Amino acid sequence: MPETIFSHFETVKFEGPSSDKALAYQYYDAERVVMGKPLKDHLRFAVAYWHSLAMSGTDPFGGPTINRPWMAAGDPIAQAKVKADAAFELFRVLDLPFYCFHDADMAPAGESLADTLKNFHTMADYLAEKMETYSTKLLWGTANLFSHPRFMAGASTNPDPQVFAWCAATVKNCMDVTKQLGGSNYVLWGGREGYETLLNTDMKQELEQMGRLLTLVVEYKHKIGFDGQILIEPKPKEPTSHQYDFDTATVYGFLKKFGLEKEVRVNLEANHATLAGHSFEHEIATAGALGILGSLDINRGDALLGWDTDQFPNDLWTMTMSMYHTIKAGGLGKGGCNFDAKVRRQSFTPEDMIHAHVGGADLCARAFLTAAKLIEDGKYDAILDERYAGWKSGHAADMLAGKFSLEEIEKMALERKINPEPKSGKQEQIENLLARAIYTDKI
Ligand code: XLS
Ligand code: CA
Ligand code: CA
């Protein structure tokens, strides 16, 4: 096994809440059985190849601060292999079950499309070899259709059909590799699928193009027998001012238009939810209500800044409610919790990367355990059930089921002399109940 920058770290273990060891899990007890299965199978944590291995700490005002050995000049494939060696050692140290990648994170671009695809398959074979030695599995693969200048005016939504064809060829190969590596999902995030100005944009045409690519992706999934989920990742802005996949509700409308709402689900990112003016739990609950929750990108933004800072999560309340709505939506199934989060640019040591993931995994595990306990205990759900109890039977149930016309409802309302009385929404009572569950009760 080649020596890497993560090789000298021990594998992080679960030691429980009383442990004072910094690099130990206090709450992420992978084997603890909750609601019928081990915690690791509910959460399905993944490490993001891009933020953990490929990111260099650049920002709009300054250059790289995170210098990893594979970022030095050298043969690009040899360097990509050094990066892959380090990636799998990082996965070993963290002992998290999955990883995620973009083609561009793990393989260097070539001079032409053919060269680029050749490099990609060379590296895919290398990752396949690694996966025989290590236990880490692939949660999802995706294509980077946003970094290269050829995508500046859009990927599938580009006015130039050659760019569409480039994207289609790339996505086909990314799906092949995702299947080859046993991936559970294939993700499409439309980084450049939007516009800067309507002055040069034919929106109807662009949406048709985006719908075409997605339809082709779904057809190809069935053709090759890929049994993972196809996921769209909504984001409202950044890089473009107006992104077509604004949020879950917008994506659902798009899927309906193209008849794909049974084929495609969403991968929801916390920081994208807040950029859209929503909370993470709102996006999860929306996807749950529409039956399209697929997977989660776990991170946080900075409430004082207005952009996608992709920080590791640390808000227990938000995460607990996000886990609550995830469980209520039926859980993550083939999806998982991908740490789409990066360390700050001053945190340039390999150890910083480990601290970041340990904290994130512990926060999510604790949030999940609390959410599961809340549901099992039933007090919170009882308040909600009581609030909507009137709809469960009799005329109200028939009214909801569409058994009455508008005139019939009017007649009943007049005959019964209805006069609805205001009822308390109990917000503060609920907040207190949740605060105890989250901050005081033992889990
Ligand atoms: C960027 C997105 C991206 C997707 C995958 O903001 O979060 O990283 O998750 O392309
Ligand atoms: Ca993401
Ligand atoms: Ca992001």
Q: For a ligand 1 pocket test, name from 106, 142, 338 the mutation site with the most ligand atoms within 8 angstroms of its C-beta.
A: 142
Residues marked as catalytic: 102, 105
Ligand 3 center to 59 CA (angstroms): 14
* 316 and 397 assigned to the same domain: no
The residue whose two tokens read 């944590």 is 45
Distances (CA, A) of 132 to 11, 127, 136, 349: 19, 9, 9, 28
* 372 and 392 assigned to the same domain: no
The residue whose two tokens read 């580009």 is 158
Q: Which atom of ligand 1 is nearest to the CA of 51?
A: 8
* 264 and 411 assigned to the same domain: no
* 316 and 410 assigned to the same domain: no
* 180 and 199 assigned to the same domain: yes
* 371 and 384 assigned to the same domain: no
> 246: Cβ–Cβ under 8 A, 6 or more apart, which residues?
234, 235, 236, 276
Ligand 1 binding pocket includes 263 (Cβ within 6 Å)? no
**Is residue 260 scored above 90 in pLDDT?**
yes
Q: How many residues does the chain have?
A: 443
pLDDT per residue as tens digits for the range 262-287: 999 999 999 999 999 999 999 999 99
Tokens of 181: 């590596």
**Is residue 306 scored above 90 in pLDDT?**
no
Residue 95 lies in a domain: yes
Measured distance CA(300)–CA(317) in Å, rounded: 13
* 275 and 137 assigned to the same domain: yes
* 137 and 269 assigned to the same domain: yes
Measured distance CA(47)–CA(341) in Å, rounded: 9
Tokens of 226: 């890929």
Please state, rounded to an integer, the average pLDDT across all residues of the chain.
Answer: 98
Q: Which atom of ligand 1 is nearest to the CA of 235?
A: 6
Instruction: Give pLDDT, residue 358.
Output: 98
CATH of the domain at 156: 3.20.20.150
Residue whose CA is at the smallest distance from ligand 1 atom 8: 340
Cα first-last separation, the chain: 40
* 192 and 294 assigned to the same domain: yes
Measured distance CA(81)–CA(319) in Å, rounded: 35
pLDDT per residue as tens digits for the range 137-174: 999 999 999 999 999 999 999 999 999 999 999 999 99
Read off φ and ψ for residue 118, nearest 5 degrees.
-65, -45
The residue whose two tokens read 């800072």 is 309
Amino acid at 329: A
Measured distance CA(133)–CA(223) in Å, rounded: 30
Instruction: Give pLDDT, residue 1.
Output: 82
**Is residue 357 scored above 90 in pLDDT?**
yes
Tokens of 2: 């080649």
Residue 409 lies in a domain: yes
Instruction: Give pLDDT, residue 116.
Output: 98
Ligand 1 binding pocket includes 233 (Cβ within 6 Å)? yes
Mean pLDDT of 408-417: 98
Q: Print the domain residue range for 387.
A: 380-439
Residue 1 lies in a domain: no
- Beta-bridge partner residues of 350: none
Residue 4 lies in a domain: no
Going by pLDDT thresholds of 50, 70 and 90, the confidence category of residue 367 is very high
Residue whose CA is at the smallest distance from ligand 1 atom 4: 189
| Among 377, 407, 422, residue at a domain's last position | 377
* 297 and 387 assigned to the same domain: no
* 350 and 385 assigned to the same domain: no
Ligand 1 binding pocket includes 269 (Cβ within 6 Å)? yes
**Is residue 387 scored above 90 in pLDDT?**
yes
The count of structural domains within the chain is: 2
Question: Pairing between strand 194-195 and 242-243?
Answer: antiparallel
Q: Which atom of ligand 1 is nearest to the CA of 50?
A: 8
Residue 296 lies in a domain: yes
- The closest ligand to the CA of 308 turns out to be 3
- Closest C-alpha to 264, from 299, 303, 308, 214: 214
User: Residue 33 in 3-state DSSP?
Assistant: strand
Residue 147 lies in a domain: yes
Q: For a ligand 1 pocket test, name from 49, 52, 235 the mutation site with the most ligand atoms within 8 angstroms of its C-beta.
A: 235
**Is residue 329 scored above 90 in pLDDT?**
yes
Instruction: Give pLDDT, residue 311.
Output: 98
CA 405 from centroid of its chain's CA atoms:
42
| Among 377, 406, 431, residue at a domain's last position | 377
Going by pLDDT thresholds of 50, 70 and 90, the confidence category of residue 338 is very high
| Among 355, 377, 399, residue at a domain's last position | 377
Name the packing angle between helices 350-377 and 76-94 (round to 10°).
Answer: 40
Mean pLDDT of 123-145: 98
Mean pLDDT of 10-26: 98
Ligand 3 center to 389 CA (angstroms): 39
Residue 28 lies in a domain: no
Distances (CA, A) of 49 to 32, 46, 83, 85, 174: 27, 9, 10, 12, 15
* 143 and 200 assigned to the same domain: yes
Instruction: Give pLDDT, residue 293.
Output: 99
Residue 202 lies in a domain: yes
